[in-house]
Amino acid sequence: MTLAAAILAAGQGTRMRSSLPKVLHPLANKPMVQHVIDAAKKIGAKDIHLVYGHGAEMLQQQLQSQPVNWVQQAEQLGTGHAVMQVLPSLADASQLLVLYGDVPLIQPETLQQLLAATPENGLALLTVQLNNPTGYGRIIRNPQGAVLGIVEQKDASAEQLAICEGNSGIMCIDAEFAKSALPQLSNSNAQQEYYLTDLVAMAVAENRPVHAVIASNAAEVSGANDRVQLAALERVYQSWQAEKLMRNGASLADPARIDIRGEVTTGQDCKIDINVIFEGKVTLGDRVEIAANCILKDCSIADDTIIKANSMIEDSQIAQACEIGPFARLRPGTQMDAKAKIGNFVETKKTRVGQGSKINHLSYVGDAELAEGVNIGAGTITCNYDGVNKFKTQIAANAFIGSNTSLVAPVSVAENATVAAGSVITKKVEAGQLAIARGKQKNLDNWQRPVKK
């Protein structure tokens, strides 16, 4: 039996006070609905139906690369009505998993439990035990514990409101039952909507099996209706990620002050200080140390590398035992070989820094190739851009570039060459040469400094 997923994402989300559709608001730098799509993929959903309404153009633009079947709900007449729109696309021999685009923390493991509990010709629902279930539909059970139905809060009696088991809204339905039951839903209720939850009572009335799985963590089934709730879910998500890092052998100075907005893999004995942000895919080797206030995006850091405070690394590859920062910025295409060093207030872009080479301070090195043992003095820049095109600077092994040098690309400095401080280099420096390219110094006597008028 195949699995199909229906993700309900048609709501406007007025409480977000935003022109952005609610389900596109980000959690960990990824739209809420994308988290739900990813969960459906992980459990093997063959067909993913996205039920949309408000903000259709923005949704389709943001999710254009996703393997979803777009299903329009022109009028928002309730959850049951939303799922009805999926029926024409639903295969007969399948299970239909109903998910919500604004419930981003649902875990694949929990969904697997729900699928395993889904009976043939019936349904299974995901419930949650809450100390304060205000806003949730209540699960009605008989004395033997069997589920009889779900009553929405606005339709519940005082006795029913005292029930602490709430309905998450997530359920898995046998396709045959869904196709027969959904068209029979009624909107005779306080909201005048077609409730998906009425399927439970209908299944019981037809003697179809109804099973319930209780979620182990309420955060998994919590929705975000406003920015306050979304911020709370963000903190939950980040706490989960921090715990995962620590269990994999990383030490965090403060687990509450780290943000993971992608996928992070760590080796053993990594040390991560406060306010570090990871974006995209980041890989850390063993014994990597990251000081406070660093941002790492789509990069790999090999063993024993130290990243000092306030540094940014993006789309770069760092070999073992390198040293970076503080206040360094490694832009895309930077590659550091073993034991290389990029120091404070240095910016690199599309540059290879060879083994043991150093760019210690106050420099910009872009579109460059540095062999091993190169020393770049403070204030050096590669002039790689003529206003239209980019050109490359090549510096061979053991070259020494003096402070405040401008290397006007395309240009090369051969092995063991030296460039005097303050030079503007426009042509090749041969092996072992000393290049001096600066005006002759003049010292004028009796110079009168300007004074204020």
Q: Which domains occur in the chain, in start order?
A: 2-221 (3.90.550.10), 251-435 (2.160.10.10)
Give the model's pLDDT for residue 350: 98
Answer for the pair 165, 139: CB distance below 8 angstroms, yes or no: yes
What's the rounded Cα separation, in Å, for the pair 176 and 400?
A: 76
Establish whether 331 is an annotated binding residue: yes
Name 244's Cβ contacts closer than 8 Å, sequence gap at least 6.
Answer: none
Among positive and negative, which fits the CA dihedral 199, 201, 207, 212? positive
Higher pLDDT, 347 or 451: 347
Write down the residue that tokens 């295409």 correspond to.
333
- The region of weakest confidence among 184-188, 243-247, 256-260, 287-291 is 184-188
- Check residue 441 and give its pLDDT: 84
Give per-residue pLDDT as tens, 15-49: 999 999 999 999 999 999 999 999 999 999 999 99
Average pLDDT over residues 181-192: 90
167 is in an annotated binding site: yes
pLDDT at 11 over 90: no
Mean pLDDT of 336-359: 98
pTM for the full predicted model: 0.90
The tens digit of pLDDT for each residue in 379-404 reads: 999 999 999 999 999 999 999 999 99
Residues 40-58 as b/e (b if ≥16 CB within 10 A, e otherwise) read beebebebbbbbbbbbeee
Give residue-wise pLDDT tens across range 248-273: 999 999 999 999 999 999 999 999 99
Is 250 marked as binding a ligand? no
Catalytic annotation present for 54:
no
pLDDT digit string (tens) for 70-79? 999 999 899 9
Cis peptide before 332 (omega within 30 of 0): no
Helices (H) and strands (E) in the chain, counts: 8, 36
**Lookup: tokens for 381:** 């820049």
Instruction: For residue 39, give the 3-state DSSP assignment.
Output: helix
Inter-residue long-range contacts of 406-414, CB under 8 Å, 24+ positions, other chains counted: 406/380, 406/381, 407/380, 407/381, 407/382, 407/383, 408/383, 409/367, 409/368, 409/382, 409/383, 409/384
pLDDT in tens, 90-141: 998 899 999 999 999 999 999 999 999 999 899 999 999 999 999 899 999 9
Q: Is 9 annotated as a binding residue?
A: yes
DSSP state of 193: S
The mean pLDDT of the chain is 96
As a whole number of angstroms, the distance between CA 292 and CA 258 comes to 10
237 is in an annotated binding site: no
DSSP-assigned letter for residue 448 = P
The sign one gets for the Cα dihedral 246, 227, 11, 179 is positive
Please check if 142 is assigned to a binding site.
no
Q: Is 194 annotated as a binding residue?
A: no
The answer to whether 261 is a known ligand-binding residue is no
10 labeled binding residue: yes
3-state DSSP assignment of residue 156: coil
Residue 403 annotated as lining a ligand binding site: yes
Alpha carbon distances (Å) from 310 to 102, 254, 297, 325, 343:
34, 17, 14, 7, 11
C-alpha–C-alpha distance, residues 365 and 363, integer Å: 6
Is 225 among the annotated ligand-binding positions?
Answer: yes
375 in a known ligand binding site: yes
Query: Binding site annotation covers 438?
Result: yes
| DSSP-derived secondary structure for 124-145 | EEEEEE-S--TTSPEEEE-TT-
Bridge partners (DSSP) listed for residue 330: 313, 348
Say if strands 147-151 and 258-265 run parallel, antiparallel, or are unpaired.
unpaired
Q: What CA–CA distance (Å, rounded) separates 237 from 451?
A: 62
Q: Which of 25, 35, 81, 361 is catalytic?
A: 361
Q: Is 93 annotated in some ligand binding site?
A: no
